[in-house]
Amino acid sequence: MLRRVGETVDSKDAVVKIKDASFPTPFVSALEYNSPVHGNWNIVHTGMQVPESIQIYVCADNCMRGVVLTAAEMNAADRFSFVLVEEQNLLSGNLEDITIEGVTDVLNKRKDHPEAVLLFTVCLHHFVGSNLNYIYRELEHRFPDICFIRCYMDPIMQKHGLTPDQKLRKAMYDPLLGCEPDAKTVSVFGSDFVLDENSDIKRLLKRYDYKVLELPGCKTWQELLDMSRGCLFIDCYPAGKYGMEAQAGRLGRKSLYLPGSFDYDEIRKQLKQLTDALGLPELTEDELAREQESCEEALAKAKNLIGDMPVTLDYLYHPRPLGLAKLLLTHGFCVKAVYLDSISPEEKADFFWLQEHAPELELIATIQVKMRVLPRGASGEVLAIGQKAAYFGRSRHFVNLVQGEGLYGFDGIRRTAELMMDAYLNEKDTEKLVVQKGWGCECCL
């Protein structure tokens, strides 16, 4: 974005007070800016969770750079291969053959066959109308000992229908086979992180001796396949909902979508859904009251420490940024801004509550092109919750966590308060931390 030297950039279209914002799109979709904040996971990081597998991308070399670097940065280059597609392959109309022969060559050159191949076809396959069923059928015939998982790197579909991320979070569980469920096993789908051991779900299931299976905790291919044994499938991360429900329908399992929340009533409701689904005794009112009281104590302790220090937060920290803003505002915190680009339907009620009760709260875009040149930082210290809030606010006091990592329920509220106190007391090297791709996975940066 070019601008004259000395020119001041108007923040219009990139910053809006919530009282003037529209739901669910407060900002116009147009040319996008990619900030150097890379803590969120991409499809390479997520796919690498499938144990004893490799990934193969079939793509033009100009699109290959990012995924190659991601694999290298997470020390997984040995599990990553690619087949380059050139212009002549499109002109001659043999993209199916190029894909099949390229993948065959990759696998023949390996000393051993992986249990599974995450094969990523791309936009080009859509453009030329490639017969993907033929491609997979032929590869499965040539390599009957390998499970081929259908994956897509097609950003042209990013804003229409299911995203590549949603489709991947479904495809990774396609190898699960039908079997008799284990009445004391629950499988958790869809997230890049295991639930915290102290999360409400884990504590409740442990009380009744349930085994919890989660893909991020699987070390072997067989452990992944064992996830089909769950008598109940659960998903707590929005991008995984489609995949979890699809697998539950295919395998004939009960399923629950229990998204992380910062609302006491919603948490109570979800815990009742869980106990009802498993036929367990409901948590008593005294138990729920103690959980809520402990959250109130943690929030009060954080408020006493942080005081009136301005707080900003972003959608990268947790899929419910507006719900978190509401929680903090109702407990006296000085929340000034929320960084997001759109608003989830799940946060509709929180959006309108904030419009009424916190009309001056700012919503700030992260991908709007003006964010490249608008001044970063505030006049004083800011406590930021999330990497993007920290980067755009130039804060060294920030909570470094992405995608709601392991947070759930009452315990998620308590942990958030604890992380805020730690961020207040301990500075971080923001510029160094936020550029690391895939926060929480192995990275050589």
What is the rounded CA–CA span in Å between residue 86 and residue 83?
A: 10
E strand map for 383-432 = 383-385, 397-399
CA 263 to each of CA 288, 292, 413: distance values in angstroms, whole numbers, following the listed order: 13, 10, 9
Going from N- to C-terminal start, the domains of the chain cover: 51-171, 182-278
Please determine whether the domains at 51-171 and 182-278 fall in the same fold group of CATH.
yes
| CA neighbor of 445 nearest in space, from 32, 81, 36 | 36
Amino acid occupying residue 335 = V
Instruction: Decide the pairing of beta strands 383-385 and 311-314.
Output: parallel
| CA neighbor of 408 nearest in space, from 295, 280, 241 | 295
What is the rounded CA–CA span in Å between residue 410 and residue 404?
A: 13
Which tokens belong to 385?
């919750």
CATH number for the domain running over 182-278? 3.40.50.1980
Strand-by-strand arrangement of the 362-364 sheet = 15-17, 362-364, 335-339, 311-314, 383-385, 397-399
Enumerate the H helices of 253-347 as residue ranges: 264-278, 285-306, 321-329
SS3 at position 82: strand
E strand map for 311-372 = 311-314, 335-339, 362-364
At residue 14, the pLDDT reads: 96
Q: How far apart are the first and last CA of the chain?
A: 28
Which tokens belong to 120?
């990523």
At residue 91, the pLDDT reads: 75
At residue 444, the pLDDT reads: 44
Which tokens belong to 367?
């991908």
Amino acid occupying residue 92 = S
Residue 153 dihedral angles phi and psi, to the nearest 5°: -115, 80
Work out the widest C-alpha separation in the chain, in whole angstroms: 71
Side-chain half-sphere CA neighbours of 164 within 13 A: 19
Superfamily holding 51-171? Nitrogenase molybdenum iron protein domain (3.40.50.1980)
What is the rounded CA–CA span in Å between residue 210 and residue 184?
A: 5
Give yes or no for a contact between 145 and 113, defined as CB atoms under 8 angstroms apart: yes
pTM across the whole model? 0.94
Residue 126 dihedral angles phi and psi, to the nearest 5°: -70, -45
Strand-by-strand arrangement of the 53-59 sheet = 80-84, 53-59, 116-122, 147-153
What is the rounded CA–CA span in Å between residue 341 and residue 368?
A: 8
| CA neighbor of 316 nearest in space, from 397, 172, 422, 434 | 434
| CA neighbor of 57 nearest in space, from 77, 81, 73 | 81
The neighbouring-strand residues paired with 314 are 339
What is the rounded CA–CA span in Å between residue 225 and residue 129?
A: 32
Give yes or no for a contact between 398 and 187, defined as CB atoms under 8 angstroms apart: no
At residue 192, the pLDDT reads: 96
Question: Over its length of 445 residues, how does the chain's per-residue pLDDT go in tens digits?
Answer: 555 555 677 899 999 999 999 999 999 988 899 999 999 999 999 999 999 999 999 988 878 888 888 898 888 999 999 999 888 877 777 889 999 999 999 999 988 899 999 999 988 888 788 899 999 999 999 999 999 999 998 776 556 688 889 999 999 999 999 999 999 999 999 999 999 999 999 999 999 999 999 999 999 999 999 999 999 999 999 999 999 999 999 999 999 999 999 999 999 999 999 999 999 999 999 999 999 999 999 999 999 999 999 999 999 999 999 999 999 999 999 999 999 999 999 999 999 999 999 999 999 999 999 999 999 987 789 999 999 999 999 999 999 999 999 999 999 999 999 999 999 999 999 999 999 888 887 654 4
Instruction: Decide the pairing of beta strands 15-17 and 362-364.
Output: antiparallel
